[in-house]
Structure 1
């Protein structure tokens, strides 16, 4: 057990176990929360003159506000990131105070008095048909592992998959006969998403050359291990660099937003979008519907346009994968 009121590595380790076992958070969320708390503790220790041992009673709301200001001004964090980090600190102090016999019931959570940063009520501009086409062609021609990376990109663009869902996609999550893929955000809210013919074909092409390894993960690297998020970021950046799109202009979230905006334009309701996207609330789906109604010109004529079943796409050959990809 962590020492009473002491904020150290042992306390964070116990907190991570608590988030997994008691709160049911996904491993990726737990890692993010632990990183946020660790960053905050280092910041406060430096503020207090590199103090070796921090205690809960050392922390004031002013420290937390200064930390959020530092993230925004020095590290250029946006309000959405600041909101998540504040949520992590509130959760951590609730846990740490609750675990302290001497502080429980007598010491208030210092993060509760900080106002939650409000993210802007907007979503990224979806890709146009030309941008989506050029990106799909680029990943087939210039991706580190063309067949694999093309299939991954289609899952983002056509299925609205999250990065974590792609990284943790297992072989039995794909049903090419029934044309669907099972996506699972955090181990609790899995959903079945239909596959277009082109996306199913992309997955089939990749699976034919997928290394025969014990891991059930779909996407494998040249070291015969499941790919990392760094590999996905690299493949996307390399593909974008081969188009006329500005560097850093295409993110995985933007690909997801493109997918959901197109589905909204195709007539899906807020509730249907919420189910397809695997979202807890209806705020983002309402934004997709509103954006779809406000656009006078379709970014892509319809959802199936992302399939891009042109002759040049269907007959294109894949180059050799990069070593180590």
Structure 2
């Protein structure tokens, strides 16, 4: 069978049967497309372990990060395991494929003072009543206040929020639904946006949208617009050249743990399937504590 056709069938399987997120499926599709190019678009049965090793070696020579190499190897293993189950290949060539372990890098986190300054600036800008400023303030408060992913934020509908209780219903990875809390500042910012900002944005489209956050043309806001917003306002506060919405999720989790929140409670809020994923934030807190100690203690 042609490799390209098999790869597309696998992507459909991930999306429709395993119900992985569209972003994950896009990444796997991109990895397999790259494998196909590296293999010269050979027939599926012609790809062996040496082909896969050569593919990863080429990626290494390009300077791909270890995390990227690990993901590519995972994509290949998952694909060929599925192909063998489907009877498309007799043997799985990826069984002995080894990729570099992911290097553990601590996420970029803004300080509590930096977040206060940033959100105060956004609240002041929104006070003028500009629809975009009202929306942007509400977006930033929700990303930080609820610790949600950008895909979860973009997928929010108005009916998903309970402003009285300060909770929201989000659809996370693997189509898993959870309820997340958010604070009074986020509730107030969203309330102001719904009253004074969203109607103006909604009027720009002929079709009514149930989406909570709307883009410039009145439709559901896209992840790219949120990335652009966060990059513009957050980067100066964390001293990073490139930054995205996930930094606000990292920051929320770290600040929860710094404030004494239980690790499992943070896991529930973030929607992590594994507690091990959440534990990275304990390392962030420890790093911050150590840095403070070294600066402040005379015997450090």
Task: State the TM-score, normalizing by the size of structure 2.
Answer: 0.82
* Corresponding position of 2:278: 285
* Corresponding position of 1:132: 115
Does structure 1 conserve the Cα–Cα contact (< 8 Å) formed by 2:32 and 2:76?
Answer: yes
Structure 2 gaps of 5+ residues are: 293-300
| 1:31-42 equivalences in 2 (<5 Å) | 31-42=26-37
Shift of 1:39: 2.1
Structure ranking higher on relative contact order (CA contacts 8 Å, 6+ apart): 1
Q: Secondary structure at the match of 2:279?
A: helix
* Corresponding position of 1:255: 248
* Corresponding position of 2:218: 224
Distance between the aligned counterparts of 2:144 and 2:230, measured in 1? 12
Does structure 2 conserve the Cα–Cα contact (< 8 Å) formed by 1:193 and 1:276?
Answer: yes
Task: State the TM-score, normalizing by the size of structure 1.
Answer: 0.76
* Corresponding position of 1:268: 261
* Corresponding position of 1:21: 16
Of 191-200 and 151-160, deviating more is 151-160
Shift of 1:129: 2.6
Higher-helix-fraction structure: 2
* Corresponding position of 2:191: 204
* Corresponding position of 2:165: 178
Indicate which of 96, 104, 121 corresponds to 1:113.
96
The answer to whether structure 1 residue 71 and structure 2 residue 67 are counterparts is no
Equivalences, count? 281
Judged with a 3 Å threshold, the aligned counterparts in structure 2 of structure 1 residues 28 and 287 are, in CA distance, closer, same or farther, namely: closer
Q: Secondary structure at the match of 1:193?
A: strand
The answer to whether structure 1 residue 61 and structure 2 residue 24 are counterparts is no
Note the alpha carbon deviations across 1:7-43, whole angstroms, 9 max, x for none: 12x3333222211232222233222221221122123
Judged with a 3 Å threshold, the aligned counterparts in structure 2 of structure 1 residues 57 and 218 are, in CA distance, closer, same or farther, namely: same
Q: Secondary structure at the match of 1:117?
A: coil
Q: Secondary structure at the match of 2:168?
A: strand
Indicate which of 52, 63, 73 corresponds to 1:86.
73
* Corresponding position of 2:296: none
Distance between the aligned counterparts of 1:16 and 1:238, measured in 2? 34
Note the alpha carbon deviations across 1:193-216, whole angstroms, 9 max, x for none: 212110111111222221345222
The answer to whether structure 1 residue 148 and structure 2 residue 131 are counterparts is no
Judged with a 3 Å threshold, the aligned counterparts in structure 2 of structure 1 residues 272 and 240 are, in CA distance, closer, same or farther, namely: closer
Shift of 1:73: 4.1
Does structure 2 conserve the Cα–Cα contact (< 8 Å) formed by 1:139 and 1:146?
Answer: yes
Note the alpha carbon deviations across 1:139-194, whole angstroms, 9 max, x for none: 56499932222222222222111111112112111110111112221354222221
Moved over 6 A (4+): none
Distance between the aligned counterparts of 2:287 and 2:231, measured in 1? 30
Shift of 1:238: 2.3
Structure 1 gaps of 5+ residues are: 46-52, 300-325
Distance between the aligned counterparts of 2:240 and 2:291, measured in 1? 24
Distance between the aligned counterparts of 1:295 and 1:251, measured in 2? 21
Does structure 2 conserve the Cα–Cα contact (< 8 Å) formed by 1:122 and 1:287?
Answer: no
